[in-house]
Amino acid sequence: MFNLFKLFSSGHGSGSVAEKDPAMEALKAAASANANEKQPSSTNIPALPIQPLNLPSLAKLRGKHVVLASSSPRRRDILAQVGIHPHVVPSTFAETLSKEDFAHDAHAYPINTATEKGKEVYERMVMEDDKNSPDLVISADTVVLVPDNAPSLSKGQSWDEAHGEMSYSVCEKPIDKADQYRMLADASGRSLQVVTGVCITYPTLQAPGYAQRTFANATTVHFFDIDPYTIDRYIDTNEGIDRAGGFAVQGLGAFMVEGITGDYNNVVGFPLAEFVRFLDTLIENDEDVLQVE
């Protein structure tokens, strides 16, 4: 950089000594002081502790006996993001509902499975210790819907616009690596729908002593074209064998995904944003929620 100070302090001839200019000396002193002044740094700003998210529903959950009817660490971690730390009690429901019974409403399949999971856990816990029954049981089931014919979505096109009343294959967790390969080969170059059915079970004063409320969240996942060699290498990692659809979007499986339309957390395993809003509405409209002891 051109040095203004050097220019003005240099002699004007061989062996000459420049007279000090008081104005220039003042400018140099100011520049030196500015250079030595400690500049603000982000490291000097103290980190503020994260406070609880005080939404009505989340505040009411504090101190309550909340149960997650799932052994999924991903669902547990997602709930922890908003301060929900449930007691984990995995459901023993066999998940043997017939997919053919839901051929015309694929979203109803995970909703019904989640409902049965919640029912099984709530009834079992009440039977084991009715003085320590849950205030709220959260259950969920995630599936992947693969359209039988439509290859992909056009840009800006919704799932319903593209697929309408078309038939689907419902994919849950692969039964083995060959099944996982089939699922990923079906996903290659296509847009699939990840659907999570969620059920909230809570005690009421009316028979049978509890109520259940449900919703489903759908997220569209767009896959790159995946060649057989790449599918094999992914399967070799052992990831995705325990996930609906055979892939983990939050892990190595992310490299196969071109984009996501909808809730990312839903693809991971639990639609957190819709759950919080659903719980807010439920508490507002049903006085039994988190009130019946």
- What are the average pLDDT values for consecutive 10-residue runs of the chain, which has 293 residues? 45 50 67 60 73 85 94 95 95 87 85 97 94 94 84 53 64 95 95 96 92 97 96 97 94 96 96 96 86 70
The predicted pLDDT at position 5 comes to 42
CB 127 within 8 A of CB 210: no
Q: Which tens digit of pLDDT belongs to each residue from 46-91?
A: 778 878 788 888 988 988 999 999 999 999 999 999 999 999 999 9
Q: Residue 260 falls within a domain, yes or no? A: yes
CA-nearest of 171, 185, 190 to 235 is: 185
Task: Return the residue matching tokens 């500015």.
Answer: 34
Q: Residue 48 falls within a domain, yes or no? A: no
Number of domains composing the chain: 1
The predicted pLDDT at position 237 comes to 97
Whole-structure pTM value: 0.78
Q: Residue 1 falls within a domain, yes or no? A: no
Q: Residue 109 falls within a domain, yes or no? A: yes
Q: Residue 124 falls within a domain, yes or no? A: yes
Distance (Å, whole) CA 179 – CA 229: 16
Quick check: is 129 catalytic? Answer: no
Distance (Å, whole) CA 194 – CA 196: 7
Following DSSP, what letter does each residue of 69-82 receive, concatenated?
----HHHHHHHHTT
CA-nearest of 143, 144, 138 to 276 is: 138
The predicted pLDDT at position 157 comes to 53
CB 183 within 8 A of CB 245: yes
Q: Is 245 left (phi over 0), alpha (psi -120 to 50) or beta?
A: left
The predicted pLDDT at position 197 comes to 97
Please classify residue 204 by burial: count the beta carbons closer than 10 Å to its beta carbon, then call 0-12 exposed, 13-18 middle and 19+ buried. middle
Distance (Å, whole) CA 265 – CA 250: 9
The predicted pLDDT at position 43 comes to 63
Residue type, 266: N
| Residues facing residue 87 across a β-bridge | 67
The predicted pLDDT at position 1 comes to 46
Dihedral pair phi/psi, residue 141, rounded to 5°: -145, 130
Structural domain for 141, as ranges: 56-285
**Active-site entry in 21, 135, 141, 148:** 141
Q: Residue 50 falls within a domain, yes or no? A: no
Kindly report the CATH number assigned to the domain that includes residue 187.
Answer: 3.90.950.10
Q: Residue 45 falls within a domain, yes or no? A: no
The predicted pLDDT at position 259 comes to 96
The predicted pLDDT at position 291 comes to 77
